[in-house]
C-alpha cells in the first residue's frame, strides 16, 4: 500500500482546505516545491498534487510550479485540478508528471475518459469525490446525480485502472476516514482504489490497509505532525 503525501497548491502556495471549503484555508508554505522535496526526503514513494485554482475554475492554473516539482523530484507525481481536455492531459504529461487525475471532467464527459484511458492508459486516474455518497464536482462546490459506487463501476467499464476515492466530509478534519465507504468501494470494483480524506493518526492508516485499498493520501495530518510519514510508509509496506 502506497502512502501519498498531498501537496495542494493555491495561488502558488502550499495550502490545506477543511472539507474542501475555499474560505477555510491554512497556508503551510509559500514554496510548494520545497515542501514536495521534504516529503521525498522522508521516503515518499509518490506525490499527490492538487491544483485547487484549476479545480475551481476548470482550467489548470499552477502547472508551472507543479511541473517544477516533477522535474526536481526522483519520485512520480500525480496531479489533478482543472484537467478537462485531451490536449491538457497531453500537456501535463509532457511536463514530467506521471499521472493526471480526471474528476469533474469524468462526470461531465465520459467520452473523454474513454479516449484518455485508451490513449494514455495507466497515466490517467479517476478522482471520485463523494459528499453523502454522491459524486461532487467543480472543486467540490456542486454535487452530481451519481452515486459514488455506481460511478466507479461506470469508470471501470470505460477502462479506468485506478480511482482516488475521497470522502469530503472527512477531508481535513483529522477525525478518521470513512472505513465502511472505502471497504464498499474496494468490494464494488476490480481496480485499484486509493483512499483519501480523514487520516488523522497512524491507526487510521492501519485500518485503511485492512479495507484493501492500494494507497492512502495523507494531507493535513502530515502538516500538523499528527502522522509521521516514515512510520506511515512502514505501515503501508
- From first to last of its 237 residues, what are the pLDDT tens digits of the chain? 999 999 999 999 999 887 778 888 899 999 999 999 999 999 999 999 999 999 888 888 999 999 999 999 999 999 999 999 999 999 999 999 999 999 988 988 999 999 999 999 999 999 998 888 889 877 656 777 889 999 999 999 999 999 999 988 766 556 789 999 999 999 999 999 999 999 999 999 999 999 999 999 999 999 999 999 999 999 999
Q: Which residues does the annotation mark as catalytic?
A: 8, 129
Please report, for the domain that includes residue 203, its CATH number: 3.20.20.70
The total of structural domains in the chain comes to 1
Domain containing residue 57: 2-236
Is residue 225 a contact partner of residue 39, using CB atoms and an 8 Å limit? no
CA–CA separation, 221 vs 201, rounded Å? 7
Amino acid at each position: 500500500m502506497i502512502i501519498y503525501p498531498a501537496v495542494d497548491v493555491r495561488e502558488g502556495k502550499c495550502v490545506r482546505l477543511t472539507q474542501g471549503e475555499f474560505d477555510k484555508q491554512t497556508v503551510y508554505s509559500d514554496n510548494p516545491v520545497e515542501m514536495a522535496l521534504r516529503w521525498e526526503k522522508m521516503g515518499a514513494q509518490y506525490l499527490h498534487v492538487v491544483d485547487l485554482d484549476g479545480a475551481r475554475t476548470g482550467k489548470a492554473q499552477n502547472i508551472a510550479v507543479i511541473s517544477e516539482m516533477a522535474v526536481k523530484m526522483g519520485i512520480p507525481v500525480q496531479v489533478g485540478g482543472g484537467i478537462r481536455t485531451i490536449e491538457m492531459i497531453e500537456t501535463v504529461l509532457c511536463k514530467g508528471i506521471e499521472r493526471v487525475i480526471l474528476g469533474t471532467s469524468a462526470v461531465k464527459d465520459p467520452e473523454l475518459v474513454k479516449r484518455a484511458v485508451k490513449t494514455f492508459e495507466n497515466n490517467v486516474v479517476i478522482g471520485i469525490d463523494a459528499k453523502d455518497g454522491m459524486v461532487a464536482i467543480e472543486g467540490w462546490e456542486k454535487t452530481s446525480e451519481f452515486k459514488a459506487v455506481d460511478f466507479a463501476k461506470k469508470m471501470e467499464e470505460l477502462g479506468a485502472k485506478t480511482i482516488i476515492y475521497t470522502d469530503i466530509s472527512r477531508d481535513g478534519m483529522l477525525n478518521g476516514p470513512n472505513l465502511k465507504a472505502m471497504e464498499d468501494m474496494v468490494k464494488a470494483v476490480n481496480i485499484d482504489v486509493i483512499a483519501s480524506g480523514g487520516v488523522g493518526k497512524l491507526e487510521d492508516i492501519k485500518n485503511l490497509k485492512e479495507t484493501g485499498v492500494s494507497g492512502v493520501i495523507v494531507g493535513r495530518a502530515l502538516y500538523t505532525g499528527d502522522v509521521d510519514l516514515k512510520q506511515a510508509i512502514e505501515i503501508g509496506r
